[in-house]
Amino acid sequence: MLVTISADRVIAGIMHVHVLAFAILKERLGWESRQVSVADGTTVAQLYHQLHGDSQEPSFPVLFAIDQEYVSPDTPLTDGCELAMIPPLGGG
């Protein structure tokens, strides 16, 4: 469950993550960059599903990067990290 708190409050067990969404993910979410608060121990996949709705599976592969390094979906998030969600990019 996502928790929204003000930046000046510190609550034990809550981490702050800066999330970046690219391409179609940005369009689906309606934003490109957002600061979110999550429970300690939350993984990349758990946050992805919280943002997109638990029932919505991506119809395409999504790559994830924490602090500009690719990670697997089961990687735990850390307080203050930057999570990038990167869908396949087309081009020609």
Evaluate if residue 23 carries a pLDDT over 70: yes
Q: Which of 5-19, 37-51, 53-67, 76-90 has the lowest mean pLDDT?
A: 5-19
Helix (H) or strand (E) holding 57: none
In terms of CATH, what superfamily is 14-86? Beta-grasp domain (3.10.20.30)
Q: Do residues 16 and 36 touch, judged by C-beta distance below 8 A? A: yes
State pTM to two decimals. Answer: 0.80
Domain borders along the chain are 14-86
